Amino acid sequence: MMKKVLLFCTAVQISVLLPAQETVSFEQLFSTGNMTPYINRIVSLPVSDTLYLNGYTTNNCTDMYVSDHRVQNDCEQGNNPRAVYAFTLYDNDYTPGFKRLGTKLANVTMKVTGANTAVVQRAMTYIDHERPARHGDIGNYGLKICGFNVENFYIVTKTSGEDATKKSKVIAALQDINADIFALCEMEEEPTAMQALATALNEAWGSNVYAAVQDNITTTSTYTRSGFIYKTSAVEPYGGFSETSTSSIYKKRNIAQGFRDLDTGETFVLGMNHFKAKDTSDDEGEATRLTNANHLVNFLKTAPSKYSDNDILLMGDFNSCTGEEPLQIIQNADYTDLLAIYEPGTYSKVFDYTTELLDHAFASATMLDYVTGATVYHINADERPARKYDAGTIWRSADHDPVIVGLRFGEGSNEGGEETTCQDLNVNYTFESSLAPFDAQSVTGSQNWLCDSYGYAKMSGYSNSANYANEDWLVSAAYDLSGYQTATLTFNHAINYDRNNRKADYQTLWLTNDYTGDVQTTTWEQLDIPTYPSGSNWTFVNSGNISVPEQYLTENTRFAFKYVSTDTESAATWEIDNVKLTAICKRTALPTTHSQQTSVHVSGRIMTVGGAAGMYVSVYDLLGRSVVLSEAITENYQLEMPSQGLYVVYLRDANGYTETHKVIVP
């Protein structure tokens, strides 16, 4: 009898200690803003709800800060931030070692222990945690240029302990990148530092490969400086070293130098920049960043005469996110953001669990003809800071990821030496005296788009102290984008008297490639505008870079600004200026002596990779987000794609052989 009672009590205890497991989506889990309703319950996330690792809350790798997507810094999100489902996840049985930031966690079952905490209940699946085998595609380049913030690199005055480890890591990273020119910042200011780095890199190669640009820096202090080292077999300096800032400190951090490509004799100007950090309070950080940008732009006005060349490439740590005002100043001087074209949505730094792009590359209008690609090499930002103590490895050699740009000079530079009729497109409309070549069409209302006396395109539904219902379109000329690899739109705009905060509904951007001449009978697709003005003043802001989807890289492509107002709500005024359309000609694939060994086919949502046994496959969407990374695959590997669109399939083997394919999922 006693035995039966004990068994009955044990059964009751088990039912209390192990509550039933339930499947709960992100939306359900955070229906109240946090996980409070599910405290002390065991939940499983559905397969479609993957977690992303954004960081570690302690030095213990068991304490992970996770969310429903890789979180961007607020400065990268403009006025349309995405809601974040984020919490701390404890995995007390975690043994595989550190996973890179950005790793995806699938098959998650956890016990909710607090409003923003949970504990893993069983082993999870880790996806996309592999380190990159090499940097991304930069096309069929002739010269490789690398901009790199090497994070307080003291190579002359500090030579032991952690500084010796730092030296070995930076040297390993530079060897791995193997650029023809390295443009570096946060090097120590000691006059011989750049030459010491070139010497150390030559010792690592076992021959005299690199030399340092001779500059005019003669001081030694706790400040850092920027500089160049270059392959003597590939380029030679010409025209002298320049400091592009007049600030006593920032002269040494914002610099330029002319280079000559020895293969073709072509010349270009390379600028390296390290703007003021924006998170300081002792040196009016924001104002100084703007000063840095204005000093640079003023120098660029004189650079063509100093170096007898308009081909200018700007690189560096601009300490500014995409679309922030210091970068707008540069873009408004007719410089194109290369990463926005070749790797949109990328990042170079992780700060406070969020990604941000602080390191950039800009090309002058004429330099665009010679650019074959641009990429961020993620060897640092996704690595745990403790990795900086691993001597001789490239991982976490600094806190910023390097930016790499490919250039090719000479005949038919866009096609690796073969003649091409394609010319990169770079048009800019300022509406100085008319709306031409835009076509204004009014669907409803008597108010219309006009070119105002200040030289802006302007539309308002407000007239004679009253609000009126309007729908008005401003349609661009037609463009043949069929020969281009990418196209990007950007513009400046101001909105005032917006009293209902519906800018994303009432001031919008649209695209078509079947324009009928009538906006009402034309099929349009809306494009998101990354950044809107405040809506309460006449201050212009830059829209941010807007990529034209691949399906619109066709003939007869047009874009249009659509304005809507009602007679029951306030009718805002929308002003538009400096509309830019940039398109880059199609380039060849990765430079390689191998022929394609694999085939990639798509049927419905199923992608099949043939002839790739033993290779690894990575798939990325157009925003550079990783869709999948597999282990070594079989002869005919199949993958179900998550949605329609254009994807890049990147294949590699253990020997470093790589292939890149582009596929469209209909």
Q: pLDDT tens for residues 369-420?
A: 899 999 999 999 999 877 777 888 899 999 999 999 999 998 544 433 344 4
Can you list the positions of beta strands (E) in 198-323? Answer: 210-212, 224-231, 235-243, 255-261, 267-274, 312-317
Q: pLDDT tens for residues 508-533?
A: 999 999 999 999 999 999 999 988 99
Q: Which residue is associated with the tokens 């008597």? A: 446
Whether 346 and 300 map to the same domain: the answer is: yes
Cα 432 from Cα 211, distance rounded (Å): 48
Q: pLDDT tens for residues 33-45?
A: 899 999 999 999 9
Domain's final residue, options 95, 127, 159: 127
For the chain, the domain total comes to 4
Q: pLDDT tens for residues 457-502?
A: 999 999 888 999 999 999 999 999 988 877 889 899 999 999 888 8
Structural domain contains residue 506? yes
Q: pLDDT tens for residues 410-448?
A: 854 443 334 445 666 778 788 878 898 999 999 999 999
- Interior/surface letters 496-511, b for 16+ CB within 10 angstroms, e for the rest: bebeeeebeebbbbbb
Helix or strand run (H / E) with residue 474:
strand 470-475
Q: Which of the pair, 247 or 93, is modelled with greater confidence? A: 247
- Interior/surface letters 110-132, b for 16+ CB within 10 angstroms, e for the rest: bbbbeebbbbbbeebebbbbbee
Cα 444 from Cα 446, distance rounded (Å): 7
Radius of gyration of the chain (CA): 27
Between the CA atoms of 264, 660, 662 and 138, what dihedral angle is there, to the nearest 10 degrees? -30
Structural domain contains residue 133? no
Q: How buried is residue 169: exposed, middle or buried, by Cβ count under 10 Å (0-12/13-18/19+)?
A: buried
Cβ-based neighbours of 222, under 8 Å, separated by 6 or more: 189
Task: State the pLDDT at residue 12.
Answer: 36
Query: Model confidence at 67, in pLDDT bands (50, 70, 90)?
Result: very high
Query: Two tokens at 346?
Result: 């990328």
Cβ-based neighbours of 248, under 8 Å, separated by 6 or more: none
Query: Two tokens at 265?
Result: 């004799």
Please answer whether residues 122 and 372 qualify as being in contact, where contact means their C-beta atoms are separated by less than 8 angstroms: no
Q: Which amino acid is at 158?
A: K
Whether 399 and 501 map to the same domain: the answer is: no
Task: State the pLDDT at residue 330.
Answer: 94
Domain's final residue, options 73, 103, 127: 127
Task: State the pLDDT at residue 133.
Answer: 82
Q: In what order do the strands lie in the sheet containing 645-652?
A: 626-629, 616-621, 645-652, 658-665
DSSP annotation of 436? T
Task: State the pLDDT at residue 247.
Answer: 84
Average pLDDT score, the chain: 84
Whether 459 and 482 map to the same domain: the answer is: yes
Q: Is the pLDDT of residue 113 over 80?
A: yes
Query: Two tokens at 524?
Result: 């349009």
Cα 211 from Cα 227, distance rounded (Å): 11
CATH number at 285 reads 3.60.10.10
Whether 379 and 237 map to the same domain: the answer is: yes
Q: Is the pLDDT of residue 331 over 60?
A: yes
Whether 411 and 429 map to the same domain: the answer is: no
Relative to beta strand 470-475, strand 439-444 is: antiparallel
**Which own/partner pairs from 105-110 qualify as long-range (CB within 8 Å, at least 24 positions apart)?**
105/50, 105/51, 105/52, 105/53, 105/66, 106/47, 106/50, 106/51, 107/47, 108/44, 108/45, 108/51, 109/21, 109/42, 109/43, 109/44, 109/45, 110/42, 110/43, 110/44
Query: Model confidence at 647, in pLDDT bands (50, 70, 90)?
Result: confident
The sign of the torsion formed by the CA atoms of 412, 415, 421, 427 equals negative
Query: Model confidence at 75, in pLDDT bands (50, 70, 90)?
Result: confident
Q: In what order do the strands lie in the sheet containing 235-243?
A: 235-243, 255-261, 267-274, 312-317, 359-364, 335-337
Whether 301 and 335 map to the same domain: the answer is: yes
What is the three-class DSSP state of 7?
helix
Whether 166 and 47 map to the same domain: the answer is: no
Structural domain contains residue 11? no
Structural domain contains residue 138? no
Domain's final residue, options 517, 552, 585: 585
CATH number at 43 reads 2.40.50.140
Whether 201 and 98 map to the same domain: the answer is: no
Cα 626 from Cα 618, distance rounded (Å): 7
Complete DSSP assignment for 95-161: -S----TT-EEES-EEEEEETTEEEE-SPPEEES-PPPSSPPP--S-SEEEEEEEEEEE-SSS--ST
Whether 409 and 431 map to the same domain: the answer is: no
Whether 301 and 434 map to the same domain: the answer is: no
Range of the domain at 643: 599-665
Residues listed for the chain: 666
Q: Which amino acid is at 280?
A: T
Relative to beta strand 312-317, strand 573-585 is: unpaired
CATH number at 488 reads 2.60.120.200
Once rounded to an integer, what is the mean pLDDT over residues 293-311?
A: 94
CATH number at 653 reads 2.60.40.3080
Q: Is the pLDDT of residue 16 over 60?
A: no
Structural domain contains residue 7? no
- Alpha helix ranges (H) inside 538-596: none
Task: State the pLDDT at residue 204.
Answer: 86
Task: State the pLDDT at residue 516.
Answer: 93
pTM above 0.75, yes or no: no
Structural domain contains residue 9? no
Between the CA atoms of 321, 326, 327 and 330, what dihedral angle is there, to the nearest 10 degrees? -170
Task: State the pLDDT at residue 411.
Answer: 57
Task: Quote the distance between the C-alpha of residue 517 and its chain's center.
Answer: 36
Q: How many CB atoms neighbour CB 280 within 10 A?
A: 12
Whether 608 and 567 map to the same domain: the answer is: no
Task: State the pLDDT at residue 578.
Answer: 84
Structural domain contains residue 410? yes
Structural domain contains residue 134? no
What is the three-class DSSP state of 176?
helix
Whether 581 and 512 map to the same domain: the answer is: yes
Q: Which of the pair, 613 or 478, is modelled with greater confidence? A: 478
Provide the β-strand partners of residue 10: none
